[in-house]
Copies of this chain bind each other. A is one copy, B any other.
Amino acid sequence: MELRDIEIFLTLAEELHFGRTADRLRLTTARVSQSIKKQERIIGAPLFDRTTRAVALTQLGDRYRHNLSAGYRQITEAIQDAVAHGGGIAGPLTLGGMGPQTLAVSRIIEVFQARHPAVEIHYREIQPTAPFQQLRSGQVDIALLWLPVREPDLTVGPVTHVSQAMLMIGASHQLAGRTSVAIEDLGDCTVLTSAEELPAYMEEAINPFHTPTGRPIRRGPRVSSWHEELSVVATGKAVTIVAAEAAHFYPWPNITYLPIEDGRLIQWAPVWRTATETEHIRAFRRAAQKVESLDRGCLANGTSLVNPPVAERSPHL
C-alpha cells in the first residue's frame, strides 16, 4: 500500500465516480479500479458499494477515509515544507507547444527532470492562431513559441532551437510542382489568416504583407486551429508558412512542403508571463541555458564527441 493508492482512494471517496477520479489524477478508470480493488483485497472487505449507476462509501470505507485523510495531508505537507526549505521545487508545470515542437526541447526537459524530479510536467497544445491565449489565461506556464514575440506582459527565454521555414501548399496548387519558392512568389498566393488577431509584427515576420518587390500578399480564409490550417491548405484554398518539422509530422498526401529560397529561419523560445514568473519557470530557463551552453560547447569543438558531456544524469525516480 503506497501513497499513490491512498491518493486514489481519497479522490474516489470525494468524487464517488471512477471517471472523474481518473481525470483528476490523470489516470484511466481501469487503474483506479485496480488500485481500489487491491486495497479491498488487503483490507478484506469492500470500501465502496458500487453499481454502474452509483458509487458510495461503505461504513468501513468511510472510517478508512476519515482515519487516512489527516495523515495523508500531514505527509504531503511535510514533503512540501521540506522541498520549500531545501531549495527543491515540486508540483506541476504546464508546457505549451505547437505540434511536434515540444519534441525539439526534449533535452531541456531531460535536464530539468533530472534536476527537479518532483516536478510533474504536463503538455498542452498551443494553436498558432492564438499563441498567447493560454499563457495569459494561466492554462500553460511556459509556451514554446516562434519569435519574434514582443509583448509587454511576456518574457522571452533563450532560443532553444531553429527551424527552416517552408511553404505549406496544396498539392494541386500552381506552385506545388516547384522544388522551392521565394517570398516573392507569395504575391501569387492567398495566405491564411488567423481567426484571432495576431500582433502585426508577428504576422509581418512570418507571413509578410508585401513581397520584397512591394507587391501585396493576398489574405485568405480565417482559420482558428492548426488542423484547420492543414485542412484549408489541403483543399488548395490558401497557403501558409510553417516550420520544417511539419513536413515530417503531417505528410498528408494532398499537401506539399516547399523550401523557401530566401532561407528564412524560425527561432523558437520559451515564453512566460512576467507577472507570474515562478521558481519553476526560473529553473526551466536555467535548464534551457544549460543545454544551450552544452550545445555551444559541442559546436565550438567542431567534433562530435564519442561521450558527449552530459552534466546531469536522468532521474530514476
How far, in whole Å, are A63 and B78 apart by their CA atoms in the complex?
9
**Chain A 25-77 interface residues, beta-carbon cutoff 8 Å to B:** 38, 40-45, 47, 60, 63-64, 67-68, 70-75, 77
Q: How far is the CB of A195 from chain B (nearest CB, A)?
A: 43
Contact A86 B44 (CB under 8 A): yes
**Chain A 76-125 interface residues, beta-carbon cutoff 8 Å to B:** 77-79, 81-83, 85-90, 116-118
Pick the interface stretch among A1-9, A162-170, A216-224. Answer: A1-9
In the complex formed, the residue of B with least CB distance to A44 is B88
How far, in whole Å, are A138 and B85 apart by their CA atoms in the complex?
46
Number of A interface residues, CB 8 Å? 42
Contact of A38 among B63, B68, B317 (CB under 8 A): B317
Contact of A67 among B40, B82, B116 (CB under 8 A): B82
**Chain A 158-200 interface residues, beta-carbon cutoff 8 Å to B:** none
Chain A binding site: helix, strand, loop or mixed by DSSP? helix
Contact B87 A45 (CB under 8 A): yes
How far, in whole Å, are A68 and B315 apart by their CA atoms in the complex?
24
What number of copies of this chain does the assembly contain? 2
**Residues of the B chain whose Cβ atoms lie less than 8 Å from the Cβ of A71:** 70-75, 78
In the complex formed, the residue of B with least CB distance to A75 is B71
Contact A64:B78 (CB < 8 A) given known A42-B83, A71-B72: yes
How far, in whole Å, are A42 and B113 apart by their CA atoms in the complex?
10
**Residues of the B chain whose Cβ atoms lie less than 8 Å from the Cβ of A74:** 67-68, 70-71, 74
Contact A89 B44 (CB under 8 A): yes
Q: How far is the CB of A193 from chain B (nearest CB, A)?
A: 47
Contact B85 A41 (CB under 8 A): no
How far, in whole Å, are A78 and B72 apart by their CA atoms in the complex?
10
**Chain A 291-317 interface residues, beta-carbon cutoff 8 Å to B:** 315-317
Contact A45 B2 (CB under 8 A): no
Contact A87 B118 (CB under 8 A): no
Contact of A1 among B42, B73, B79, B316 (CB under 8 A): B79
Q: Top 3 A-B pairs ranked by shortest CB distance?
A: A44-B88, A71-B74, A67-B78
Besides A1-B118, A42-B88, A67-B77, 18 more A-B contacts (Cβ < 8 Å) are: A1-B79, A41-B117, A42-B79, A42-B83, A43-B86, A43-B88, A44-B89, A45-B85, A60-B82, A60-B85, A64-B78, A67-B74, A68-B78, A68-B79, A71-B72, A71-B73, A71-B74, A71-B75
| Contact sample, A vs B, 29 pairs, CB 8 Å cutoff | A1-B118, A2-B2, A3-B3, A3-B6, A38-B117, A38-B316, A38-B317, A41-B88, A42-B79, A42-B83, A42-B88, A42-B90, A42-B117, A42-B317, A43-B86, A43-B88, A45-B87, A45-B88, A47-B82, A60-B82, A60-B85, A64-B78, A64-B82, A67-B74, A68-B74, A68-B79, A70-B71, A71-B71, A71-B72
